Structure 1
Amino acid sequence: MKSADLLLDAFARVQETVHEAVEGLSDDDLAVRIDADANSIAWLVWHLTRIQDDHIADAFGTEQIWSGEGWAARFGLPFPEGDTGYGHSREQVAAVRVPGALLLAYYDAVHARTVAHVGSVTNADLDRVVDTRWDPPVTLGVRLNSVLTDDNQHAGQASYVRGVVERR
């Protein structure tokens, strides 16, 4: 198995989990928070998608889909365009109320861009430094692993919240 194949499989599994967490739920269901400080499914999926969009664009030197293809305007959230959700307050989490179809359309657009970039990654590419702000500098392999870890954590959290919502 090539590095690209492994990465493509991992990102496809995230996509499957995201769809399973969102599909068939109402806007109200997507906004449920199991306590005042908990994240909703809508916020979790929006956030994991924003992080993936931000990090993949940066790693491959392209523009984010969020800003470059008008997704920020379509979502109409009360945040600066570059906001990814990192460090959001409970009020900011509550502000992410969006339809599932919009959420999945943005996720799928980011996923398609990710697949386009990752599909040609070689073993040598994984050692390329993509972020020198850290010590040691971050390589493409480390950045992709970080994105996948974050995606899996948040997609799993969204699945958990869906289970709680469905039991109500």
Structure 2
Amino acid sequence: MNANEVLLDAFGRIHEAVAATLQGIDGDSLSRRPAGTGNSIAWLIWHLSRVEDAQVASAGGLDQVWTSQGFAGRFDLPLSQRDTGYGHSSSQVDAVQARPELLLDYYDAVHRQTVEYLQTLGDDDFDRVVDTRWDPPVTLGVRLVSTVADCLQHVGQAAYAKGLGRKPD
């Protein structure tokens, strides 16, 4: 198995977990914030989608799905089109509201672009430096692995939050 096959599997697991988390969920559950201050499922899924979109697009020299495919307009959030959710205040978290179908449509489109990009890569591509603002500079491989880690954490949080809202049998 080569590096892009491993990453395709990892991003595929994020895709499966996003779909499973959004399956059968209602609007109240999407916007509920654990303990009143935690991040809502809607925010978590939107944020992980924005993170993957922004990071893969930047590393790959691609347009972000958020703007190029009209999702910024479809979500119509009171946020900058460049916003990915980093450092959001409580009121900004509350502002991220969306139907589960829209959240899944956006993540599906992001995932498709990620898969298409990863399929073009060979093992030598992962050593290419994509960010010189860090010491050591960040390679494509490191950026993609950190994106997987971030997105898996957030989809796990979303799945946990969904479980908190379930009534015991």
Look up the match of 1:127: 127
SS state of the match for residue 166, structure 1? coil
Say whether residues 1:71 and 2:71 are aligned partners.
Answer: yes
SS state of the match for residue 113, structure 2? helix
Look up the match of 1:143: 143
Write the mapping of 1:146-161 to structure 2, written as runs, cut at 5 A.
146-161=146-161
1:57-87 Cα deviation digits (max 9, x unpaired): 0000011010111100000000000000000
- CA distance in structure 2 between the aligned counterparts of 1:137 and 1:2, rounded to whole angstroms: 23
Runs of 4+ in structure 1 over 3 Å off: none
Look up the match of 1:45: 45
Look up the match of 2:59: 59
SS state of the match for residue 87, structure 1? coil
RMSD (CA atoms):
1.0
Look up the match of 2:9: 9
SS state of the match for residue 167, structure 1? coil
Percent identity at matched positions?
Answer: 51
Contact preservation (8 Å) 1:128, 1:140:
yes
- CA distance in structure 2 between the aligned counterparts of 1:60 and 1:154, rounded to whole angstroms: 23
- CA distance in structure 2 between the aligned counterparts of 1:121 and 1:157, rounded to whole angstroms: 30
- CA distance in structure 1 between the aligned counterparts of 2:79 and 2:109, rounded to whole angstroms: 21
User: Could you tell me which amino acid in structure 1 is paired with residue 94 of structure 2?
Assistant: A
User: Could you tell me which amino acid in structure 2 is paired with residue 88 of structure 1?
Assistant: H
User: Could you tell me which amino acid in structure 2 is paired with residue 111 of structure 1?
Assistant: H
- CA distance in structure 1 between the aligned counterparts of 2:145 and 2:97, rounded to whole angstroms: 29
SS state of the match for residue 34, structure 2? coil
Q: TM-score, normalised by structure 2?
A: 0.97
Look up the match of 2:108: 108
Q: TM-score, normalised by structure 1?
A: 0.97
* 1:34, distance to aligned residue in structure 2 (A): 1.3
- CA distance in structure 2 between the aligned counterparts of 1:167 and 1:32, rounded to whole angstroms: 14
Contact preservation (8 Å) 1:51, 1:147:
yes
User: Could you tell me which amino acid in structure 1 is paired with residue 95 of structure 2?
Assistant: A
- CA distance in structure 1 between the aligned counterparts of 2:165 and 2:76, rounded to whole angstroms: 25
Contact preservation (8 Å) 1:39, 1:93:
yes
- CA distance in structure 2 between the aligned counterparts of 1:135 and 1:28, rounded to whole angstroms: 43
- CA distance in structure 1 between the aligned counterparts of 2:131 and 2:103, rounded to whole angstroms: 28
Look up the match of 2:87: 87
Aligned length: 168
- CA distance in structure 2 between the aligned counterparts of 1:84 and 1:18, rounded to whole angstroms: 17
User: Could you tell me which amino acid in structure 1 is paired with residue 106 of structure 2?
Assistant: Y
- CA distance in structure 2 between the aligned counterparts of 1:88 and 1:5, rounded to whole angstroms: 34
